[in-house]
Amino acid sequence: MEIENPLGEEIAQVQKVYDMLTEFFVNYSMQVIGALIILIAGYYIARACSRWVVRMLTTRNLDITLSELIGSITYFAVLFCFVVIALGKFGISITPFVAALGAFTLGAGLAVQGIVSNYGAGFSIILTRPFVVGNTLTVQGVSGVVEQIRLAYTVLSTEDGEKITIPNREIIGQILENSFEYKLVETRLALDPQTDPEAAIAALTNALQSAPEIASEPPLQIGIDDFTDFNIRIGVRFWVPTASYYQARYTINGLIYRTIKAADIRLAVPRQQIQMLNGG
């Protein structure tokens, strides 16, 4: 009667694995070392090429977002070439991997159409550049300064420090309002019919031209905006930095009030006309 020896079987399995590893390293040790050296060298070369591309594009005043995108594409393209070379050390063909990658990309694209459309829209934004970082953008009912432009989304910042994240697919195809780093302020004043509108315009122009909160370009605009049955309306239009829009607006409104009071400019009093009909 034979007695099984579990310990002997385990030792035999370990010995078999050891022999396989020994044979592998004897036959492929130089290929493994060569592949590792190629991958390490490829990593550093790809990173150096990416930094060089970004630095070159930046010195030519290309948009920083587009420069970083091209730098990332350069990095992965160079690294992919070294990976192909490293696989070739083992005699592995890259063709099956490319086919599998294509099938995976197709399936993933169908599963995440929304995400893919965001990336496609982001790529279009970066290439066409309808706006850049630092511009004032108004879209989908929100407004703010463009802080970041990513492939999937765009981040706006407001004067209150809020961050507004907009998916890029919600930007492409919409009506965009880009006022660069400034924002328009519009104010209307209803003057009493007895007030000289030209004197009021001159007083407001003299007061607002020296206001540091108002941008010099586009220039300040003050003039007669409209005529009604009971008053003359003066329109005031000026641009202020978006980052301090509300603070500048409130400051200028205070300056307009003090100017009106000092120049004794009379504003129109709201009137309501009532017509009484006699019943017959």
Q: What is the pLDDT of residues 113-144, one digit of tens each?
A: 666 678 788 888 888 888 888 888 888 888 88
Indicate whether 192 and 253 sit together in one domain: yes
**Domain span at 135:** 130-178
Whole-prediction pTM: 0.55
Q: What is the pLDDT of residues 149-159, one digit of tens each?
A: 887 889 999 88
End position of a domain, from candidates 69, 84, 111: 111
Indicate whether 13 and 101 sit together in one domain: yes
CA-nearest of 163, 264, 157, 251 to 211 is 251
Instruction: Report the SS3 class of residue 159.
Output: coil
In a domain? residue 279: no
Indicate whether 94 and 160 sit together in one domain: no
Tokens of 250: 């409130």
Indicate whether 13 and 104 sit together in one domain: yes
- pLDDT of residue 82 exceeding 70, the answer is yes
Indicate whether 233 and 192 sit together in one domain: yes
Give the confidence band of 236 by pLDDT, cuts at 50, 70, 90: very high
Indicate whether 172 and 206 sit together in one domain: no
Q: What is the pLDDT of residues 21-70, one digit of tens each?
A: 666 665 666 777 777 888 888 889 989 988 898 888 778 776 676 677 77
Written as one string, the DSSP assignment of 246-276 is HHHHHHHHHHHHHHHHHTTPPBPPP------
Per-residue model confidence (pLDDT) at position 7: 62
Cα gap 260→200, rounded to integer Å: 8
Domain count, the chain: 3
Indicate whether 157 and 64 sit together in one domain: no
| Angle between helical axes of 6-59 and 64-88 (0-180°, round to 10) | 140
Written as one string, the DSSP assignment of 200-253 is HHHHHHHHHTT-TTS-SSSPPEEEEEEE-SS-EEEEEEEEEEGGGHHHHHHHHH
Instruction: Report the SS3 class of residue 47.
Output: helix
Cα gap 274→49, rounded to integer Å: 79
Indicate whether 13 and 63 sit together in one domain: yes
Give the confidence band of 251 by pLDDT, cuts at 50, 70, 90: very high
Indicate whether 174 and 186 sit together in one domain: no
Indicate whether 28 and 97 sit together in one domain: yes
End position of a domain, from candidates 53, 80, 111: 111
